[in-house]
């Protein structure tokens, strides 16, 4: 593993996306609330998402200087979105939320993992 992720820009982009996602989950925007409800994610656990997504953004930024942390955070995000896709499929929520949001984020996370940390 190199001293820094190479290139760094995908890590920064993913961190900004995660931070934006954390912000829209603070008081979930209607489309976020509908998505969470559609997959059966219990409302009592919605409060966990903003700190979790903020921690992911922080882990990615810190991972610029500590590549092992960026790698672990990116792998964690890949697993998070695999679980999200599984929840969409189990709930038969096979529309935009699955194919654009969850799958799009999985592709972004896998691309960052491969491009910045593994290849």
What global pTM score does this model have?
A: 0.94
For residue range 54-96, list pLDDT tens digits in order: 999 999 999 999 999 999 999 999 999 999 999 999 999 998 8
| Residue 106, token pair as written in the block | 């999985």
Residue 1 has pLDDT above 80, yes or no: no
For residue range 13-39, list pLDDT tens digits in order: 999 999 999 999 999 999 999 999 999
Helix (H, G, I), strand (E, B) or coil at 66: coil
Using omega within 30 degrees of 0 as the cis cutoff, is the peptide bond preceding 112 cis? no
């Amino acid at each position: 593993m190199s001293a820094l992720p190479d290139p760094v820009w995908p890590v920064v982009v993913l961190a900004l996306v995660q931070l934006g996602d954390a912000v829209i989950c603070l008081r979930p925007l209607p489309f976020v609330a509908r998505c969470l409800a559609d997959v059966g994610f219990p409302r009592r656990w919605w409060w966990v998402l903003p700190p979790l997504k903020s921690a992911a953004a922080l882990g990615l930024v810190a991972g610029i200087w500590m590549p092992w942390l960026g790698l672990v955070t990116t792998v964690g995000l890949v697993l998070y979105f695999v679980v999200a896709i599984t929840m969409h499929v189990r709930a038969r929520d096979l529309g935009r939320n699955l194919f654009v949001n969850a799958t799009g984020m999985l592709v972004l996370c896998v691309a960052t993992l491969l491009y910045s940390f593994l290849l």
